[in-house]
Amino acid sequence: MEHEPGDGNVVEEARHQGSELRRPQQQIGTRPKDRKHRGPSCLNGTIGGCLRGYVIAISIRCRHGQQCRYAAYTCQVVNRPETARRRGLTRQAIVARALELGSVEGIDAVSLRRLASEFGVTPMALYRHVRDKQDLINAMTEIVLEGLDVTVGFEPSMSWTQRVRRAMLNYKEQMDARPLALPLSIAYTGENPVAFWRMLEALLAILLDAGFARRQAIVLIRVVSNLLAGYLLLLRQDDLGGSERLDDRQLDLLRRRMELVQLSLPPDEYPNLIASAGDLADVWLSDPDRWWRDTVDLITFGLERMLERTGEVSRGSHAPA
C-alpha cells in the first residue's frame, strides 16, 4: 500500500500504467462530523494497492469540520509495450541483433546501451541475458565460427601439401563469408568454440602425417595462422566499418602519385626503387586478393623445405663420426 496526495494521482497512475478506470468516483462511506480529527485542517489523499492485476485506490477528502468522503477507483493494469518487449528478449535475440549491427557498422558500434535502444528497453534489461559486453563478444564469436571446417573437399588420395593448400583455401573462403570472424576472434576471451579445436586437430593431423615432430607442427600451425589472419585482416579492413573503398580512378591517381614520389628519390641512394617505380606502385596499391595464390605457394613451399631440412638434420645426427 502507498499514500500519495491528491486523488488526481489515481488517474495519472492509471494512465502511466496503460490502464483505464473501471468505475467512476462514488461515495462509499462518511466520517461523523463530531469524531475527533487529528492532522491538518485539510486532508486530501489517495491510498492505493494492487491485487491480481487490478490497481485499487481510495480517494480520501476531509476538511476540518466536515464529513470525510471516501471514493474508490479500480483499474486493470495493462502491460506496457516495454514490458512486452522485455518478455520476448532472449540471449539468442540479443546476440543476433549484435551481429547484424556489427556487420553493418563494425564491432566497435556494438554496445549494451546501443542494443537496449534497438530493443526499446533499458540497458539493465539486457543484463538478465548477458553478463557484460565481453560475454556478448564471446557469444557472438562462437556463433560466427560455428560450422567452420577447413577439411571440406579433402580426399584420401591427396598428398599432405595438397591438403595444406586446400585447408588454406577453405579457411579464406569461410572467413570471407564471416567478415566479423577475425576481429571477434581477436577480442574473444572464452574457452574457444568447438570449431577452433576441430581446425587445430585437422591441421595437426596433416603435419604429423607429413613427418613433422609434434612440437614443431604446433609451432608451424601457430606461425601460419598468424600469417593468414594478418593477411585477411589487411585484406578486409575496408569491410569492417573503416575507410571507404576507393574506386578505380582514385586508385589510379594514387599509383601515379606513388610512382612520381619514387622517381623523385635520389638515384644514388634508391636505384632499385626508381627502376621498379611502376611495378611497385601497381602491386602495392592493388587488390591483395591478386596475390593470394602467391601467399599459399610461399607457405606451402616453406613447409616443404622445413620438412626436408628436418630430415637432413635427422640423417646428419645419425651419420658416422
Higher pLDDT, 193 or 18: 193
In the predicted structure, residue 313 carries a pLDDT above the cut 60: no
Average pLDDT rounded to a whole number, residues 254-260: 95
- pLDDT value at residue 234: 81
Query: 26: pLDDT confidence band, cut at 50, 70 and 90?
Result: very low
Q: Starting at the edge strand that comes first in sequence, how are the strands of the sheet with 27-30 ordered?
A: 2-4, 42-51, 54-63, 69-76, 27-30
- pLDDT value at residue 233: 86
Q: How far is CA 258 from the centre of its chain?
A: 38
In the predicted structure, residue 2 carries a pLDDT above the cut 90: no
- pLDDT value at residue 287: 81
Query: 159: pLDDT confidence band, cut at 50, 70 and 90?
Result: very high
- Average predicted confidence (pLDDT) for the chain: 79
Domain with CATH 1.10.10.60 in the chain: 83-130
pLDDT tens across 55-85, in order? 444 444 555 555 555 455 444 444 444 554 5
Look at 237-241, 244-248, 286-290 and tell me which has the smallest mean pLDDT: 237-241
- pLDDT value at residue 235: 79
Going by C-alpha positions, the residue among 126, 140, 136, 135 that lies closest to residue 86 is: 126
- Rounded Cα–Cα distance for residues 174 and 25 (Å): 68
Average pLDDT rounded to a whole number, residues 229-235: 86
pLDDT tens across 116-151, in order? 999 999 999 999 999 999 999 999 999 999 999 999
Query: Is the entire prediction scored with pTM above 0.85?
Result: no
Share of the chain above pLDDT 90, in %: 58
- Asked if residues 74 and 28 have their Cβ atoms less than 8 Å apart, the reply is no
Going by C-alpha positions, the residue among 65, 41, 46 that lies closest to residue 5 is: 46
DSSP of 141-192: HHHHHTT--TTTT--TT--HHHHHHHHHHHHHHHHHT-TTHHHHHHH--SS-
Higher pLDDT, 312 or 99: 99
- pLDDT value at residue 311: 77
- Rounded Cα–Cα distance for residues 204 and 216 (Å): 10
Average pLDDT rounded to a whole number, residues 89-111: 94
- pLDDT value at residue 65: 54
Most confident of 85-94, 233-242, 282-291: 282-291
pLDDT tens across 179-226, in order? 999 999 999 999 989 999 999 999 999 999 999 999 999 999 999 999
Q: Which CATH class is domain 83-130?
A: mainly alpha
As beta bridge partners, residue 57 has 48, 73
